[in-house]
Chains A and B, each alone.
Chain A
Amino acid sequence: DAGVTQSPTHLIKTRGQQVTLRCSPKSGHDTVSWYQQALGQGPQFIFQYYEEEERQRGNFPDRFSGHQFPNYSSELNVNALLLGDSALYLCASSSQGVNEQYFGPGTRLTVT
């Protein structure tokens, strides 16, 4: 049983570019949450998707958008990248009605 997978592992972009990160949830999970973890900090909640809709959103600008597909996988898109967007982006999956979230290994984004 594969856990949560994310791609790519690492990514380097320049300011102003756009990036798409991908996440496949753990088998049986239908909810995907995205977090941003800056170096030396705890994760910050970006948003959560369930039934292909954004259900909750943290304090992130509209440059951050997402999508969930019918197979429950998800994408995180960031437009007009800033240096401050450099971070580890974590995807977590869960099942409605179940308490636990399972995290993927993350995508390390570096903006130069």
Chain B
Amino acid sequence: GNSVTQMEGPVTLSEEAFLTINCTYTATGYPSLFWYVQYPGEGLQLLLKATKADDKGSNKGFEATYRKETTSFHLEKGSVQVSDSAVYFCALRNAGNNRKLIWGLGTSLAVNP
């Protein structure tokens, strides 16, 4: 079946450090891939997405590239800020008329000043 695996947290970084959160997936066909962010006490917000192989999603300094050969969609940011502290979720949705998202367990990020 379809699944998403994320690196376990928590991840603790100093401000301006480089961030990578790994995400790999298992899916049939050509899924769309997403990163969502959940700030403390809030709901989920779409951070970025990619819908086909080699697409790069980017937003707010975050980037992720859809790598079909390695079935990965790792999240990166060159210089994190304290305000980036949140839980990050990787998710996929298969092609077709199917709106169900399959989620990873989430990776908690804490950025210290």
What are 20 of the A-B contact pairs (CB < 8 Å)? A31-B99, A33-B100, A33-B101, A42-B103, A42-B105, A48-B99, A48-B100, A56-B98, A88-B43, A90-B43, A90-B44, A99-B49, A99-B51, A99-B93, A101-B46, A101-B99, A102-B46, A103-B36, A104-B43, A106-B43
A58 interface residue (CB < 8 Å to B): yes
Which applies to chain A's interface (DSSP): helix, strand, loop or mixed? strand
For the complex, give the distance between the alpha carbons of A92 and B101 in Å.
Answer: 10
CB distance from B30 to the nearest CB of A (A): 12
Are B43 and A58 interface neighbours, CB within 8 A?
no
Measured CB to CB, the residues of B under 8 A from A are: 32, 36, 42-46, 49, 51, 89, 93, 97-106
Residues of A within 8 A of B89 (CB): 42-43
**Inside 8 A of A45's CB, which chain B residues have their CB?**
100-102
Closest residue on chain A to residue B106 by CB atoms: A42
Contact of B46 among A44, A55, A96, A100 (CB under 8 A): A100
Q: How far is A31 from B98 in the complex, measured between Cα atoms in Å? A: 11
Top 10 closest A-B pairs, CB basis?
A: A42-B103, A105-B43, A103-B44, A106-B43, A103-B43, A42-B105, A45-B100, A42-B106, A43-B103, A99-B32
